[in-house]
Amino acid sequence: MRSSAASDVYKRQLQTLSQREFEMMQCFWEADEPLKMKELQTRWAHGETPQSRSTTLIYVNRLVEMKYLYKTVEQKRQVLYHPIVTKEDYYKHELREFQKRWNLNGIMRVI
């Protein structure tokens, strides 16, 4: 589990996700455990044909660069991807961005 100090550091650096990046992060949040590439491809497909490895890898690498995920390598070169950002923290980020965009900071304090 992250400390609150570590949590505060990444909160300031969060970037807003694209729709596809958000859908991928939902896979991690719903799984509540690290995922292997094959598992992620299947979960991200939402019951349809699994996403290609190359497409999945592009989005995974982007999320790693954005510090939403980190990866570890197990024995036999098996890579696991772990979420860093929680669903709750991302939703808080989105709410703050919405408030800034629509200049609602004063109104939200009253409500």
pLDDT in tens, 58-104: 999 999 999 999 999 987 889 999 999 999 999 988 888 887 777 76
Confidence of residue 49 (pLDDT cuts 50, 70, 90): confident
Mean pLDDT in the chain? 83
- Comparison of pLDDT for 5 and 77, the residue scoring more: 77
Give the pLDDT mean for 33-37.
Answer: 94
Q: Which residues pair with 36 in a beta bridge?
A: 80
Q: What's this model's pTM, rounded to 2 decimal places?
A: 0.76
**67 close to 17: Cβ distance less than 8 angstroms:** no
The per-residue DSSP string of 24-81 comes to HHHHHHHHTS-EEHHHHHHHHTTTSSPPPHHHHHHHHHHHHHTTSEEEEE-GGG-EEE
